[in-house]
Structure 1
Amino acid sequence: MKGRTKEEILNFLNNWGKDTLAKTIEIRFTDLDMENETLSATMPVQPKVHQPLGILHGGASCVLAETLGSCLSNIFIDGEKFYAVGTNINSNHLRSKKDGTVTGTVKFIRKGRTMHVSEIEIRDEKGVLINHTTMTNNIIAK
């Protein structure tokens, strides 16, 4: 996504794919720091992302984390020649959450030519860490 502004990239991400899981659970990209290579998104915690006990489903946290990790990789590669796909995710659910909003932020741990490893932190409105995830993307030639 070289040559695009922060606003153009966020707009693209927020409108990319109409009937996807990320859209269904209302993930919204909110910030991109091109210099520090971080990306953030929010997700409302509501019944459609709850597990039967009425708390945030760990799978929904994984969807937020993987969405962030994949998008960060795809922002920082040459999209004309390559695409990034998730190949591994390790997610630790640290606290429960019943309602409100969570915000995930991703940054690279390693950004190689053929593999990216990212760290994703998901926090509540008070900044309390709800989930910590690491993710690996393979960078594949088109």
Structure 2
Amino acid sequence: MYIKDQPKEEILAFINAWGGETFAKTLEIRFTDIDVENETLTATMPVLPRIHQPFGIMHGGASCVLAETMGSSLSNIFIDGEKYFGVGTNINTNHLKSKKDGTVTAVARFIRKGKTMHVSEIEIRDEKNALISHTTMTNTIIRK
């Protein structure tokens, strides 16, 4: 079964409920859009004091969690989930701008989508569309 074959609203409801209590839910990551035709996934995350580092800005690890959540979810949406699952094997994030509060929006898209490996790009932007961080992520697609 391919998650991508479901109606958009059902995909978003499914992935927002995916996995029960997870790190993504702890950070209040919320999937807001999926474009199946262009193979992109969008989510938001609030920037709250609990995800700050000691200097009062968003911790880089929070950006990485958001990016990895996006890249992994993108891969698992576009594979046959009854036969395969995708797991992250490499992530590289460049933190480009700090963020103290508000909301960030992440968009994930494939750079390469092969049978056994996916490489995705995840951009995290603020409310003014300024680029906060840029990530590339590799997922290995494993047979169950």
TM-score tier (shorter): over 0.9
Indicate the SS of the match to 1:72. Answer: helix
Contact 2:4 2:36 in 1 (8 A): no
Matched, 1:21 2:20: no
Say whether 1:131 aligns with 2:133: yes
**Which moves more between the two structures, 46-55 or 107-116?**
46-55
Deviation at 1:17, TM superposition (A): 2.2
Which residue of 69, 87, 90 corresponds with 2:89? 87
Q: What is the DSSP-based 3-state SS (H/G/I as helix, E as strand, rest coil) of the residue aligned with 1:79?
A: coil
**SS of structure 1 residue aligned to 2:5:** coil
CA distance in structure 1 between the partners assigned to 2:91 and 2:97 by the alignment: 18
Counterpart contact for 1:74–1:84, Cα < 8 Å: yes
Does residue 43 (structure 1) correspond to residue 33 (structure 2)? The answer is: no
Match of 2:74 among 69, 72, 75: 72
2:62 matched residue in structure 1: 60
Q: Is the 8 A contact 1:109 1:119 kept in 2?
A: yes
SS in 2 for 1:102: strand
Aligned-partner Cα distance in 1 for 2:20–2:81: 20
Q: CA RMSD in A?
A: 0.7
Answer yes or no: is the 8 Å Cα contact 1:2–1:78 preserved in 2.
no
Q: Which runs of 5+ in 2 are unaligned?
A: none
Give 2:104's match in structure 1, choosing from 99, 102, 105: 102
Query: What SS does the aligned partner of 2:13 have?
Result: helix
Contact 2:4/2:11 (8 A) holds in 1: no
Deviation per residue, 1:88-136 (Å, 9 max, x gap):
0000000000000000000000000000000000000000000000000
Post-superposition offset of 1:18: 2.5
Number of residue pairs matched by the alignment? 142
Displacement after TM superposition at 1:16 (Å): 1.2
Change (3 A) 1:56 1:141: same
Whole-Å separation in 2 of the counterparts to 1:71 and 1:133: 14
Partner residue in 2 for 1:32: 34
Deviation at 1:48, TM superposition (A): 1.2
C-alpha deviation, 1:2, in angstroms: 4.6
Query: What TM-score results when the alignment is normalised by the length of structure 1?
Result: 0.98
